[in-house]
Amino acid sequence: MANIENQKFIALDIFGKNYLSWVFDVKLHLSAKKLRHTIDEDNVASNDECATALIFLRHHIDDGLKYEYLTVKNLLELWQNLNDRFKHLKAVVLPKALNDWSQLRFQDFKTVLEYNSTLFKIVS
């Protein structure tokens, strides 16, 4: 029980609302653990490395997604399935961010803190 790993970041939402930031976080954490190559298509990762990365990935997805992909035991297959499911979000999020950016005006905010907060939300 002492080896149970806490979540390092917010789990992937079942609706994919946080998919883009989740992918970035997963790639960063796998890189830090020297397991980034396990999610590449032409990887030569060992079974132990893939199993470790699969556990990490499953630990950071919503319970509904876990049950939906319960039978997927291949890390690369799970990664690709999630990508296929949520990749459309780039086409949805980018135009909205560009629109928000073009309409961002400093004078619409009461404080610099509010402006900075909105600015960073758009950028991220």
Q: Domain limits of the chain? A: 18-123
The yes-or-no verdict on residue 123 having pLDDT over 80 is no
Q: Which pLDDT belongs to residue 2?
A: 38
Is the four-CA dihedral 117, 118, 123, 124 of positive or negative sign? positive
Cβ-based neighbours of 83, under 8 Å, separated by 6 or more: 23
Cβ-based neighbours of 63, under 8 Å, separated by 6 or more: none
Q: Which pLDDT belongs to residue 1?
A: 37
Q: Classify residue 32 by its DSSP letter.
A: H
The yes-or-no verdict on residue 103 having pLDDT over 80 is no
Q: Average pLDDT in the 107-119 region?
A: 81
- 37-87 pLDDT, tens digit per residue, is 888 888 788 888 888 999 999 999 999 999 998 898 888 999 999 988 888
Q: Which amino acid is at 69?
A: Y
Tell me the pLDDT band of 102, cut-offs 50, 70 and 90.
confident
The yes-or-no verdict on residue 5 having pLDDT over 70 is no
CA distances from 75 to 42, 49, 66 (A): 13, 10, 13
